[in-house]
Structure 1
Amino acid sequence: MQFSERWLRSLVNPPLDTEGLSHLLTMAGLEVEEVEPVAPEFSGIVVARICAAEKHPNADKLRVCSVDAGTGELLQIVCGAPNAAPGLVVPCALVGAHLPDFDIKAAKLRGVESFGMLCSARELGLSEDHGGLLELPVDAPIGTDVRDYLALDDVSITIKLTPNRADCLSLVGVGREVSALTGAALTQPSCEPVAPTIDARRAIFLDAPEACPRYCGRIIRGVDAAAKTPDWIRERIERSGIRSISALVDITNYVMLELGQPLHAFDNSRLQGSIHVRWPQVGEELLLLNEQKVMPDGDTLMIADERQALAMAGVMGGEESGISLATTDLFLESAFFAPDAISGRARRYGFGSDASHRYERGVDYALARRAIERATRLVLDVCGGEAGPVEEAESEAHLPSRSPVRLRTARVRKVLGIALDDARMEEILKGLSLQVESTESGFLVTPPSYRFDIEIEEDLVEEIVRIYGYDNVPTPPPHGSLAMLPSTESGRPAWAVRHRLADREYQEVVNFAFVEEAWERDFAGNAKPIRLANPIASQLSVMRSSLIAGLVGNLVSNRNRQILRVRVFETGRCFRRSADGAPVDGFDQPVMLAALAGGPAVQEQWAMPSRAVDFYDVKADLEALLAPALAEFVPCEHAALHPGRCAAVRLDGREIGVVGELHPSLVQRYDLGGAPVVFEVRLDAMMEARLPAYSTVSRQPAVVRDIALVIDQGVPVGTVIEVLRSVADPVVRSIDLFDVYQGKGIAADKKSLAFRILMQDTRRTLEDAEVDRAVSVLVNAAESRFGAKLRG
């Protein structure tokens, strides 16, 4: 909504400057988006009259003018404007004047002295018109400052309104707000009924009362459609962002801006019979004023006569019934259309209008009669003519109603947190033109017809705090008692888990919880993801059930920027369908931890050759994250992972996640270059910690033995280590795999596993017999369980 500050101040004039007024409106919810001067800065320009104009002796296109600028003597000014002629009243820049782009000095033009400059609209920065001098009214006072005469110290204010405040899409609406906020008196425009002087009328029928419960129309005959729009009307509408077209059109636009009621004028000579507000007929077409031909849908409300459709109701008039400069009789329309009947119709047909912008948000249903009277008076004053009586059709049953809203004053104080007394609340509500009736617990408040947005108690609380002023609500610092939260050694916080990953060169990322449907299919094997009812974008239409897809997206973004070595991780909630008994009915929402490593295993350096990250690098990172707990890794299958390089992660017999290399088909599909390795585990499992247990530090020497076992190729190493640890003698401190061999000397279906066994006692030095016995127990267990052979 754009409007002239000078126009607003003609209705309500608070003791505030432009900046203060803008701040006041913004803090009241009418956000001031832009404040722009209607004219640039200039000075030294006055109203002047050309007394004589003669041809320049040395130039065909120049004239030497004698100009009366109110200085007491005629000024000689050389001018090249084609319309420079005796008697013309124009702006004159005196010597020393400052214009937007230059200053005026005395000069010689083709040998003739010139003491000033006659100005066009473009030279003053008022428009781009440079076709001639800016012509002023012949009665303009000579010598008056042009800024004062044209009121160029005005500004255009643009406010951004929320859809529920359609009552402020008018100068009167904004004026009501300013009056309520400041207490300044509001002067309402005169809307006194115009007495009919002719008995010309046209019957009106509401064939769709649910969409149009009130319609007013009036015939005005003998108008001069070619009459000049008064400067004050043209100035106000142009400074409000609407182009001046003709007197009749300008008047309807003026009333719309002033009161908020859209109007439309038909050429009465082109109408036949009664006016019908109806739904469109099958196959009906309409040529609109914007020269667009439409075939309206069945739910598009139409204005029609007995012969044809005349206009798209509340949106735009038709070309065939539109007024022109030759119009002498007009039919003036003012109506209330239900917002649901207008909403979205203009956008459906690919255009918009000021009328539809207001109607689809809600126009005051009691305003139509006042607006047509206001417009009639202006038409008669500007264009002349004679007015007939106002014909009004109404369906009272379909008109909106304003139900009283109960307001509890104690509730207001509790919600706002301020000690606001009942009298102040009542004063605020009455200042907003709300009907207030006292009750035992507060007030019963009835909103006026133009307030569509007040329906519940919270709406009234918002109105009170808006007018009271958000700036006046105290903002004491928060206070409260602090308590140490319990922290046990059997758990670790999530931040500690994240810090461990950061210590291993991973960077934390945060991705959207809603993702592409294709990602769910590719990276989670989820053919029926949880869909969003109202996604913010078509490619973000489902909820994620895995974090892996988001991390792959991060890898793609980095690769597109030539960053090849990527280490990222994320903690976040996933969303999966589950059986009954879940925390949220039908859904499981675990918090997961996922990490991805892609590119070289280490940064390029001279000390070691470059190699790509592999499964064991990431497995080592995961084991370090779980330490001191020991996880079990079991081969498995996963939709997003390589079938031979993927393992389920188990901790204390419970499966907590998965680790593996990305599937080759996904590497190719997403153009990743090389296969990254990922893991995804439950965060709650990572937050479980083992209680520390004290063990004596031995001062005795340790004994190390290496054994190599030849075993079937299909036996997992983890299973072998688990069995060896379960039967190991107490003196065995660690059993570590340090070599796997397949090749010469080993059968094709076998492999050699070399283990380093460290043995130590805390009280004494171990004897060879004890060492041999402990090693023998391990070898025998491997032979009996796996058929292993000790390699010579």
Structure 2
Amino acid sequence: PNRADCLSVEGLAREVAALNKMDWSTTQVDNVPVSHQDTLTVSVEATEACPRYLGRLIKGVNANAVTPLWMQERLRRSGLRSLGPLVDVTNYVLIELGQPLHAFDAEKLAGGITVRWAKADEELTLLNNQVIKLDNEALVIADDNQALALAGIMGGNDSAVNEETQSVFLECAFFAPQNIAGKARRFGLHTDSSHRFERGVDATLQARAIERATQLIIDIAGGGAGPITEVTTKAALPQRQAVFLRRQRIEKTLGVALADEQVIDIFQRLGMTVQTQTDGWQIIPPGFRFDMAIEADLIEEIARVYGYNNLPNSSLLMRSELSKATEAVLDIDRVKDLLVDRGYQEAITYSFVDEDIQKAVTPEMEVIRLKNPISSELAVMRSTLWCGLLKAALYNTNRQQNRVRLFETGLRFIKKDGETHQQKMLAGLVLGDAYSEQWGEKARKVDFYDIKTDIQAIFALTGCEVQFLTAQHSALHPGQTAEILSLDGKKIGWLGMLHPNLEKQLGFDAQVFLFELDQVLLLNKHIPVFKSLSKYPSVRRDLALIVKEDVSASEIINCIKGSAEPALQDVIIFDIYRGKGVEEGSKSVALSLIMQDDKQTLTDSEIDAIVSRLLTLLNNEKNAKLRD
């Protein structure tokens, strides 16, 4: 349906003959003898849109003549019904040759014919009785008084032929595809004429088509033909440019070597002019092929006519090398799999975000504006992946999704020392129910420690230990915010609950928890070193320490692990208590010390000595005291 040259019986015959190496002949068309000298003046103002316009007067026709049964049947098989001899002939030539024509009732025309652009707010009643309001982008056929037809699309009602018509002005023109394309759809139309003109009609076909239509009208409805009035602007007609086809390019693209005779024969069967040169051919496409512009188009024609099923099948030869896996770096896909296993869904959001959301989430960051944003809501580059995730989460909650768990990997863009830097990040968001609806667990909402557990699971993949320190972030709740650092102090990311003010501003009705991690630092793996299992038993001692409220659990753990006690294997916090028996402004932290020696079983005195040294260290550094 998109090959303009195949939108006619003659075009299909030409194509079938080329594919099957058959002879074919065009419809015989002779010049009709002129019986009178009457003409209409034709003026073409829009020469670029209508480079060629032909018209002739046919007088003394009998509009009540009966269309021959053979023509009615051929039109019926083409999906068209008979509408009278004059309209039937124009439809028949359209189907036969692929050239649209139009017949005006000559007695309804005032003065000559003008091809021009419509005037603003000019109205036209079409053949289907639709009244359209034109503008200066619509091409029309007009007489001295009004627009008569929408050029290349549909005629007008005021100049339509009917059973009383005695004189016909027959129009046959070439309209440039770019000036017809889209115009029919603007007015809610799609006609056989517009379908062809949009795709390109042969610019050399008009004289032949008008002679064919004239002869058929005279044969069926009688009358006499006047001379043809032609207005042609040669400079505006489409020029078929020669395209050079390299011989070796055919084999490289199709994988088959064709003899020169085969190549020439294929193009000649397709109606193309072929000039043989040293390393290829100069091909000039015919006027009906608007789709031949580059070398690849010609190679496609060879493949199509030669037969896709005749092209050889061959396996691609390539070297298969195993990619090198870096043991010290964790694959991000492994992290994604983990998050999916924990109920998250991956999101992909724009790197362009709304400036208002950006300023609300990271007011301290310098905004990086786009010079030509696609919309005002996507005008700045994101400084955090949270902007897109928050918008995606809000979209879901507004559609009755009460449990949302999203993550995204991507770039954030920040200004540093006057330059724009890109940083790979992993971010996540959770809100709503902690579990999907089920019977095994008591229903509850997600909290800070749920998302912290997810992050700890990620770091468990790397084998690296991190610390969560109480901190402040402009987008997060001041009492539920943690900065994530490596043990050597490198900042990896943030974790926390969305600030209540921001939560209200964005329109959330549930608590939102977020995390964002530096992807490069996150994926650094700790390479394990072999250590033999101790055959001696491990020992656990539980302690309850009283510390000030501002001393975090991670500070206590780091202090103990920094003691360099060789027998100390692990420290586990298992309870934090505030209330009766604990002074206000303080808290009780219960922890377990796991101790084991590789060379001997630890004695009670050795264990007591280790615990004593650790208590002294904690008292000196954190003012921690053993709870009574």
The two structures have a TM-score, normalised by structure 2, of 0.86
1:633 matched to 2:468: yes
Match of 2:449 among 602, 607, 616: 616
Match of 2:179 among 341, 366, 391: 341
Q: Is the 8 A contact 2:126 2:149 kept in 1?
A: yes
Structure 1 CA distance for aligned equivalents of residues 427 and 172 of structure 2? 63
Secondary structure at the aligned position of 1:289 is classed as coil
CA RMSD of superposed structures (Å): 3.8
Structure 2 CA distance for aligned equivalents of residues 223 and 715 of structure 1? 107
Secondary structure at the aligned position of 1:694 is classed as coil
Match of 2:548 among 694, 702, 712: 712
Structure 2 CA distance for aligned equivalents of residues 233 and 543 of structure 1? 66
Q: Is the 8 A contact 2:569 2:596 kept in 1?
A: yes
- What are the superposed Cα offsets for residues 95-132 of structure 1, whole Å, 9 maximum, x if unpaired? xxxxxxxxxxxxxxxxxxxxxxxxxxxxxxxxxxxxxx
Deviation at 1:618, TM superposition (A): 2.7
Q: Is the 8 A contact 1:746 1:752 kept in 2?
A: yes
Look up the match of 1:506. 343
Structure 2 CA distance for aligned equivalents of residues 355 and 586 of structure 1? 55
Match of 2:602 among 763, 766, 769: 766
- For residues 227-238 of structure 1, the aligned pairs below 5 Å read 227-238=65-76
The 3 A distance-change label for structure 1 pair 735 and 444 is same
The 3 A distance-change label for structure 1 pair 235 and 688 is farther
Look up the match of 2:582. 746
- More displaced 10-residue stretch of structure 1: 310-319 or 586-595: 586-595
Deviation at 1:437, TM superposition (A): 0.5
Look up the match of 2:195. 357
Q: Is the 8 A contact 1:215 1:334 kept in 2?
A: yes
1:378 matched to 2:216: yes
Deviation at 1:219, TM superposition (A): 0.6
1:270 matched to 2:104: no
- What are the superposed Cα offsets for residues 487-539 of structure 1, whole Å, 9 maximum, x if unpaired? 3432344444344445x5436x565555996799499959989799999xx99
Look up the match of 2:480. 645
Deviation at 1:553, TM superposition (A): 7.5
1:422 matched to 2:257: no
Deviation at 1:448, TM superposition (A): 0.8
Secondary structure at the aligned position of 1:612 is classed as coil
Look up the match of 2:327. 489
- For residues 248-263 of structure 1, the aligned pairs below 5 Å read 248-263=86-101
The 3 A distance-change label for structure 1 pair 403 and 763 is same
Higher relative contact order (CA 8 A, sep 6+): 2
Deviation at 1:698, TM superposition (A): 2.1
Match of 1:391 among 217, 225, 229: 229
Deviation at 1:549, TM superposition (A): 5.2
Look up the match of 1:246. 84
1:436 matched to 2:274: yes
The 3 A distance-change label for structure 1 pair 264 and 596 is same
The 3 A distance-change label for structure 1 pair 381 and 462 is same
1:315 matched to 2:150: no
Structure 1 CA distance for aligned equivalents of residues 495 and 321 of structure 2? 40
Structure 2 CA distance for aligned equivalents of residues 604 and 206 of structure 1? 77
Structure 2 CA distance for aligned equivalents of residues 589 and 247 of structure 1? 74
The 3 A distance-change label for structure 1 pair 193 and 523 is farther
Q: Is the 8 A contact 1:530 1:575 kept in 2?
A: no
- What are the superposed Cα offsets for residues 6-63 of structure 1, whole Å, 9 maximum, x if unpaired? xxxxxxxxxxxxxxxxxxxxxxxxxxxxxxxxxxxxxxxxxxxxxxxxxxxxxxxxxx
Structure 2 CA distance for aligned equivalents of residues 430 and 770 of structure 1? 101
Q: Which amino acid aligns with 1:453?
A: D
- What are the superposed Cα offsets for residues 566-604 of structure 1, whole Å, 9 maximum, x if unpaired? 7x66665x355456999xx97848474647575244774
Secondary structure at the aligned position of 1:320 is classed as helix
Match of 1:552 among 366, 390, 393: 393
- What are the superposed Cα offsets for residues 599-621 of structure 1, whole Å, 9 maximum, x if unpaired? 24477445x64433322123223
Deviation at 1:259, TM superposition (A): 1.6
Secondary structure at the aligned position of 2:278 is classed as coil
The 3 A distance-change label for structure 1 pair 519 and 397 is same
Q: Is the 8 A contact 1:513 1:543 kept in 2?
A: no
Structure 2 CA distance for aligned equivalents of residues 330 and 369 of structure 1? 17
Structure 2 CA distance for aligned equivalents of residues 540 and 418 of structure 1? 50
- For residues 473-622 of structure 1, the aligned pairs below 5 Å read 473-501=311-339, 504-506=341-343, 509=345, 513=349, 521=357, 525=361, 545=385, 548=389, 552=393, 556=397, 574=410, 576-577=412-413, 588=422, 590=424, 592=426, 594=428, 596=430, 598-601=432-435, 604-605=438-439, 609-622=442-455
Q: Is the 8 A contact 2:368 2:381 kept in 1?
A: no
- What are the superposed Cα offsets for residues 56-101 of structure 1, whole Å, 9 maximum, x if unpaired? xxxxxxxxxxxxxxxxxxxxxxxxxxxxxxxxxxxxxxxxxxxxxx
Q: Which amino acid aligns with 2:455?
A: L
Deviation at 1:746, TM superposition (A): 2.9
- More displaced 10-residue stretch of structure 1: 339-348 or 443-452: 339-348
Look up the match of 1:731. 567
Structure 2 CA distance for aligned equivalents of residues 470 and 591 of structure 1? 47
Deviation at 1:786, TM superposition (A): 3.9
- What are the superposed Cα offsets for residues 684-739 of structure 1, whole Å, 9 maximum, x if unpaired? 55543221112232233333333333333344332332233223422221111111
1:456 matched to 2:294: yes
Q: Is the 8 A contact 2:411 2:425 kept in 1?
A: no
Name the % identity: 39
Structure 1 CA distance for aligned equivalents of residues 389 and 447 of structure 2? 17
The 3 A distance-change label for structure 1 pair 609 and 312 is closer
The 3 A distance-change label for structure 1 pair 245 and 405 is same
Match of 1:296 among 134, 144, 149: 134
Structure 2 CA distance for aligned equivalents of residues 734 and 747 of structure 1? 29
Q: Is the 8 A contact 2:250 2:299 kept in 1?
A: yes
The 3 A distance-change label for structure 1 pair 304 and 559 is closer
The two structures have a TM-score, normalised by structure 1, of 0.70
The 3 A distance-change label for structure 1 pair 427 and 372 is same
Q: Is the 8 A contact 1:522 1:639 kept in 2?
A: no
Q: Is the 8 A contact 2:250 2:257 kept in 1?
A: no
Q: Which amino acid aligns with 1:599?
A: D
The structure carrying a bigger helix percent of its residues is 2
Q: Is the 8 A contact 2:56 2:171 kept in 1?
A: yes
Structure 2 CA distance for aligned equivalents of residues 441 and 659 of structure 1? 67
Q: Is the 8 A contact 1:405 1:445 kept in 2?
A: yes
Secondary structure at the aligned position of 1:360 is classed as helix
Look up the match of 2:17. 179
Structure 2 CA distance for aligned equivalents of residues 224 and 655 of structure 1? 93
Look up the match of 2:55. 217
Look up the match of 1:73. none
Structure 2 CA distance for aligned equivalents of residues 205 and 586 of structure 1? 61
1:692 matched to 2:525: no
Structure 2 CA distance for aligned equivalents of residues 476 and 298 of structure 1? 56
The 3 A distance-change label for structure 1 pair 492 and 210 is same
Look up the match of 1:703. 539
Structure 2 CA distance for aligned equivalents of residues 291 and 278 of structure 1? 22
Structure 2 CA distance for aligned equivalents of residues 450 and 587 of structure 1? 54
Structure 1 CA distance for aligned equivalents of residues 372 and 259 of structure 2? 45
Q: Which amino acid aligns with 1:614?
A: D
Deviation at 1:289, TM superposition (A): 1.9
